[in-house]
Chains A and B, each alone.
Chain A
Amino acid sequence: MNRSELMDLIVTTLHDLLASDPARADVSIEDGTRLYGPEGLLDSLRLVSLVLDLEQEINDRLDTAITIADSRAMSQQRSPFRTVGSLADYIVGLLAREQSAA
């Protein structure tokens, strides 16, 4: 799964999560869209849901066993959960590590 496929997956998952939120249902999602924090799209619960949904979807599709939110993710100098793009970058890194380990 390359970065642009991952971006598509994140955008689709985000739209599903936001579908019930009239204020945000039609928001345009780009690389620099903030996920969490000031002007972020998500509250903490939706952020957790996004991460778990992505984990489940990716692991099912690629038969991998990545964990997106763990202590390593939380201790990064710059949080992977800032923007859509930073999350995609972080997952690309996780998948690359998983492949080289296999």
Chain B
Amino acid sequence: MNNPLSQGNGDPSPYEPELGSLPNGSQTGDDETVNKTGTTTIGITTDEGVVIATDMRASLGGRFVSNKNVQKVEQIHPTGALTLVGSVGGAQSFIRTLRSEVNLYESRRDEPMPIEALATLAGNFARGGPFRAINPILGGVDDEGSHVYSIDPAGGVMADDYTVTGSGMQLAYGLLEQEYEDDLSLADAKSVAARAIKSAVERDTGSGNGVFLAEVTDEGVDIQGHEEFDAVI
């Protein structure tokens, strides 16, 4: 075991995945060749569950639209979802790793992983791992209620009632600061989230091409894509 994170006494490292290992070295590729989701992603908590909204654009260096139909929110837990923000490769790998961790946790312990535990684990991986250039939102529902966390590239994990990450965050926050209320219903939160994505899509070059909306409740995760905003606003 040459891994510097390994503790040498058989104890598993809390900073690396159970399966697979963390590649050494920094992220390869420059701005012009790595697909990035410039992106606007939003998470809002309500009493009924969590709403996550993302735009649909992938770009190269923020100057060329490399894909117009990207689903940037993925289910990673029976009642939890994560957004892809930053390097597409890093985010996809991050999602695969967390999914397997969630499944292992649940099959070993016969109970679903608490969302706070998942957020802590995601923060540990982001901090120690190869998933450097990412800035996702984790949203989920468990026994404690609805949760939204932003996870930054250095492993910072912050819980909030609503949060935004990505290049269009300032535009989306502008709308949310006016429209968010403590007692939003799930349906109203979906509409507010879609309008915030629309604001960002109109003015941020890294965001565009429509909106994906995920509804996370104690029943599960439902993700729908919409190229037109009219249907969801």
**Is the A/B pair a real complex?**
no
Could you list which residues of chain A lie within 8 angstroms of chain B, going by C-beta atoms?
none
